[in-house]
Amino acid sequence: MIKRIAYLCVMILMVLPLTGCWDYIPISQITIVSGITIDKDQASNEYQLAFEIYDVKSSSKDEGVKPKIIDSTGTTIFEAIRNAKSKLSNKLYFGAAQVIVVNESIAKEGMKPIIDFFLRDKELRETTKLVISQEKSAKDILTSEYTDEKIISTQIDSIITEDAKVTLSTVNSSLYQTYNILKSEEISLVLPAFKNNKKNNITITEANGIAIFKEDKLKGYLFPEETKYYSFVVNEVEGGVLAFENINSDIKKISLEIVSNKTRLSYTYTDNKIKMIVEPKVNVHLGEIEGYFNSTDEKQIQKLEETTGMLLGENISSVIKKVQTKYQTDIFGFGNYINKKNPKLWNKLSSTWDETFSNLEVEVKPKIAIKDTSQIK
Amino acid sequence: MFGFNSKNKKNVIDEKLKQIQIEVNNDLLSSSIEKNLSTLKEIFVDNDVLVTRPIESDNKGKLNYLIAYMDGLVNSVIINDSIIKPLMLIDLEKQKKISMDTLINSVVMINEVKKTQNWAEIIESINYGDSILFMDGEAEALILNSKGLQTRAISEPESERNLKGPREGFSEAIITNLSLVRRKIRTNELKMKFYTFGERTKTKACVCYMDSLVNKNILKDLYKRLDKIDIDGVLGSQYLSELITDCRWSPFESIGNTERPDVVVGKLLEGRIAIFVDGTPVVITAPYLFVENFQSSEDYYLNFYYASFSRLLRMLALIITLIVPAFYIAIVAFHHEILPTPLLVSITMDSSSVPFPTGIEAFVMLIIFDVLKETGIRMSSNVGQALSIVGALVIGQSAVTAKFVSAPMIIVVAITGITSLLVPKMNSANIVCRYFLLFCASFLGLEGLACGLLLILIHVLNLKSFGVSQFVPMRSIKYQEIKDIVIRAPWWQMITRPSVISTDKVRLKSSGENTDD
């Protein structure tokens, strides 16, 4: 019996060192951080961090939780976070942090040093979203007024997740994806960009397209409308609306609701010249028409499909062209695709890919299929 | 001085009592009524309930009798009409010689009569409600059955109510209880063997089993354990239950108990053994499988879908009631990451102004809940209303408003409390395990909880009841083995009995479909 109990004790004791880190931190002794912004003071080269925290002590149940901004500075990000502690009675808790907003001037210098701490920190989730601020100071994003959520970070988080699906005006990017992209050579990073919009003395933060990177340095932006066509190329379209003008003499304006999309990439390699072919296959519902259209006529539908497909193709092409000429960075992942399909070819191309990309011939062959005309009786 | 005196006095009394005891044990009856009467008086000294009634039969000849009985234990009508009356009217001329046998055969109108010469036997039966008849000139006495105990009527047991099954429950009289079982099993296979326990209470108990179904090894084991018992008194079946159990220190039951005749019959038909104890409506059954904690007699009377669902609910309730408080502590104090952000914020808001650490808070609240529950059971129903107001308002509402406890804690305690009521057969196990897990979790978080659960699991898997592992059927995945464990299979699928308990396996011989071909 004593032997059995001894065995049991040994077995249980063995379990303890095998587990990860644990510690007793009562829930009442943590300060929950919802978002972090990072600025840099150019003169002193110090990081200026602002934390949006849930102000649980002074908010009441009925009104909901109010946010509170805590500032701190430090030579490194870690030090700045430790310095912030001295202003609070409780420990900062990053497990619930939703966004990290980075000032664009820091992003121009490079993202790698910024995300290093956040990837090493054990508390912060790797799914935390990384956002580029187009304001002079990233902190301004957090001090904007709220529209539906009191916590600005939560609002930014839901704008990104919803807009990436519904309006295609931004992209979803978490910390671990950013890190993976930065590690690979074949694809360039894009991050959602946010700016404040001032109307009637109310400042509201909103998504403003995407920020384009070359390696880890910020190069420029795509507008929200352009971001939509970027999404078609990278096959990230889950919904959204396509609106076109002046289709033909009968139809002035038209909106197509995207039901599903599948973009196929392919390439041809002839005479040392590479050509990419982008084929988005879009299923749409007819959402809205200004003008005359007989939705029972097969021919008219077919014609409409062709014209809208052409217009979509033009739009996508122009976005690709813009990136090729203005930024020369492969955010579409063409290189990644070639690497996967034909690694030998990629080995040949990789050294001069930036040049090749900017002169790359890209053919866009979209196909729109109207699945439902939602006829009005 | 005084102390010495009293001690001395006590010694004297003790010795006297011992002497009487020896006399009682060794001495046989005398043939003289006067002597017997004085011995009786000596035995029952200072015992005024004893009634001694001399009778003279003067009808053409003279004979002296003496009847002795305990007042209140006997039925006076029987004594008047069936004993005294025939004795007085006995026609002595007709009989040549009146002997004890003549009395038995043609005088007293009593169904159960026994001759004895032994004082010990007389004492026992007189205390059980029998009357003793002495006759002049005979060194023997008759033990006449005149029991007239006041018993409770058969009513539905409070602790095991059901909707569609029989409503009768056991009462305190063992004979009535046995009759309730005998009424349901009309075969000679049903064996009932009497035992007497308790040096002073002389409590009657009855071991009851189906001869062709019972596992003889288990029966032999049970007899061996019963024979070992030497106790001064047995007032309830729990006395026996704890004396013959396998795992003495375990909070888990290894012997079942019930107040319902239908449950006992059901268990007998699966090859189990039931032990009835006089003076208690609770009958114990053995061997006991772990799954019996979740079974209810109602399961077998309701549609099998519903019954299976409620059985699964009970299992779920056990898991919830054991784990929820510990899990809450582990998350709130160690693993905040598990919580979704809105919940985390809301819990933080609630507990930011609570004075005590969550572990202590949970412990205190659970104790308070158990106090309320205990008072609810023990109090008379008049106080119950006041109690529920105090419980709901003071402990719930006011404690939260006064910021003594956080609102989520109240929810946790309430869930724990409610779910524990679903498995009433595991009350003691619930309490022990819940506080144990709470302790583990408040020191080591989820790791502690996991270790604690492992320990409990190891213990439960080691549980035995009369040599039968309580978990045996669950190790097998054959349908017939688990048909009555996780679910309650329809009756046409209940083909076999639990294999570990019974020797005769097949219960249902006609399991074919009812189609008219």
Question: What number is the ipTM of this complex?
Answer: 0.79
How does strand B190-197 pair with strand B203-210? Answer: antiparallel
The tally of CA atoms less than 13 A away on the side-chain side of residue A210 is 26
In this structure, the number of other CB atoms found within 10 A of the CB of residue B242 comes to 10
Question: Residue B337 carries which DSSP code?
Answer: G
Question: How many Cβ atoms from other residues are within 10 Å of residue A21's Cβ?
Answer: 5
> DSSP assignment of B436-500, as one string?
HHHHHHHHHHHHHHHHHHHHHHHHHHT-EETTEETTHHHH---HHHHTTTTS---GGG--B--TT
Residue of A nearest to B338 (CA): A95
Beta carbons of A196 and A94 less than 8 angstroms apart: no
Determine how many CB atoms are found less than 10 A away from the CB of residue B307.
Answer: 20
Residue B469 phi/psi, 5-degree rounding, is -70, 130
CB contact under 8 A, A56 and B337: no
Structure letter (DSSP) for residue B153:
P
Q: Give the list of residues 6+ apart from residue B28 with CB closer than 8 angstroms, or none.
A: B117, B118, B119, B139
Q: Which of A129, A336, A157, A322 is nearest to A227 (CA)?
A: A322
Name the minimum distance, in Å, from the CA of B334 to any CA of chain A: 5
Helix ranges (DSSP H) in B27-84: 33-43, 76-78
As given in the structure block, the two tokens for residue B460 are 């439960």
Q: Which of A24, A96, A125 lies at the smallest CB-CB distance from B333? A: A24
User: Which tokens sit at B123?
Assistant: 């004492």
Task: Give chain A as a 3 state SS string.
Answer: CHHHHHHHHHHHHHHHHHCCCCCCCCHHHEEEEEEEEEEEECCCCEEEEEEEEEECCCCCCCCCCEEEEEEEEECCHHHHHHHHHCCCCCEEECCCCCEEEEEHHHHHHCCHHHHHHHHHCCCCCCCCEEEEECCCCCHHHHCCECCCCCCHHHHHHHHHHHHHHHCCCCCCCEHHHHHHHHHCCCCCCEEEEEEEEEECCEEEEEEEEEEEEECCEEEEEECHHHHHHHHHHCCCCCCCEEEEECCCCCEEEEEEEEEEEEEEEEEEEECCEEEEEEEEEEEEEEEEEEECCCCCCHHHHHHHHHHHHHHHHHHHHHHHHHHHHHHCCCCCCHHHHHHHHCHHHHHHHHHHHHHHHHCCEEEECCEEEEEECCCCC
Residues near A39 by beta carbon (within 8 Å), at least 6 away in sequence: A47, A48, A49, A50, A103, A106, A137, A138, A139
Cross-chain residue pair A12–B451, CB shorter than 8 Å: yes
Q: Residue A32: which of B348, B451, B458 has the nearest Cβ? A: B348
Query: CA nearest B201: which of B231, B233, B226?
Result: B233
Measure A268 CA to nearest chain B CA, in Å: 48
Query: Taking a C-beta distance cutoff of 8 angstroms, is the pair B499, B476 a contact?
Result: no
Count Cβ atoms below 10 Å from residue A266 Cβ, excluding itself. Answer: 13
Cite the DSSP H helix spans in B155-251: 174-182, 216-228, 237-244
Dump pLDDT digits (tens) for A289-326.
888 877 778 888 888 888 889 899 999 999 999 988 88
Of B41, B25, B38, B37, the residue nearest B135 (C-alpha): B37
Provide the residue ranges of all domains of chain B, joining segments of one domain with +: 2-144, 174-288, 304-465
Distance from the B246 Cα atom to the nearest Cα atom in chain A, whole angstroms:
15
How many angstroms separate the CA of residue A65 from the nearest CA in chain B?
8
Judge: B458–A8 Cβ closer than 8 Å, yes or no: yes
Chain B residues in contact with A96 (beta carbon < 8 A)? 336, 341, 344-345
> Do B254 and B465 touch, CB atoms closer than 8 A?
yes
Closest by CA to A103, choosing from A179, A62, A181, A50, is A50
Taking an 8 Å cut-off on Cβ atoms, the answer to whether A28 and B337 are in contact is no
Spatial CA neighbour of B70 closest among B114, B115, B128: B128
A16: chain B residues, CB-CB within 8 Å: 444, 447, 451
Distances (CA, A) of B490 to B34, B303, B310, B481, B484: 70, 8, 14, 14, 9
Q: Which residues of chain A have pLDDT under 50?
A: none
Kindly list the residues from chain B whose CB atom is less than 8 angstroms away from the CB atom of residue A154.
Answer: 341
* Residues of chain A with C-beta less than 8 angstroms from the C-beta of B341: 32, 34, 96, 98, 154
Cβ distance A15 to B451 less than 8 Å, yes or no, reads: yes
Residue of A245, A151, A287, A321 whose CA lies nearest to B341: A151
Q: Do A27 and B348 count as a contact with CB atoms less than 8 A apart?
A: yes
Q: Which residues pair with A100 in a beta bridge?
A: A36, A130
Q: Please tell me the distance from the alpha carbon of residue A48 to that of residue A51, in angstroms, as a whole number.
A: 10
Q: How many CB atoms sit inside 10 A of residue B241's CB?
A: 21
Count of A–B CB contacts within 8 Å?
72
Given a cut of 50, the residues of chain B with pLDDT beneath it are 1-4
Of A327, A352, A341, nearest to A273 (Cα)?
A352
Residues of A in contact with B332 (CB under 8 A): 26-27
Q: How far apart are CA B61 and CA B90, in angstroms?
A: 10
Asked whether the beta carbons of residue A24 and residue B337 sit closer than 8 angstroms, the reply is: no
Closest residue by Cα to residue B300 from B310, B290, B286: B310
CA distance A223 to A167: 13
Contact A57 B352 (CB under 8 A): yes
Q: Is B188 helix (H, G, I), strand (E, B) or coil?
A: coil
Q: Select from A7, A10, A21, A27 the residue whose CB has the most chain B CBs within 10 Å, as the one to mutate to test that interface.
A: A27
Residue in chain A closest to B332 (alpha carbons) equals A27
Shortest CA distance to A91 belongs to which of A34, A32, A49? A32
Question: What per-residue confidence (pLDDT) applies to B18?
Answer: 64
- Name the residue facing B358 among A23, A26, A54 (closest C-beta): A26
Q: Chain B contacts of A93, Cβ < 8 Å?
A: 336
Distance of CA B205 to the CA centre of its chain: 11
Of B349, B357, B445, the CB nearest to A61: B349
Class of residue A114 by CB neighbours under 10 A (exposed 0-12, middle 13-18, buried 19+): buried
B358/A59 CB distance under 8 A: no
Name the residue in chain A with its Cα closest to that of B353. A28
Burial profile B450-478: b = 16 or more Cβ within 10 angstroms, e = fewer? bbbbebbeebeeebbbbebbbbbbbeeee
Residue type, B197: F
B236 burial level (CB within 10 Å; 0-12, 13-18, 19+):
middle
Contact B444 A16 (CB under 8 A): yes
A22, A28, A61 ranked by CB distance to B447: nearest: A22
Contact of B451 with chain A, judged by CB distance below 8 Å, is answered with: yes
CA dist A167 and A240 (Å) reads 5
CA separation for the pair A326, A320 (Å, rounded): 10
Helix (H, G, I), strand (E, B) or coil at B288: coil
Interface test with A, best of B345, B403, B406, B444 (most A CBs within 10 A): B345
Contact A24 B445 (CB under 8 A): yes
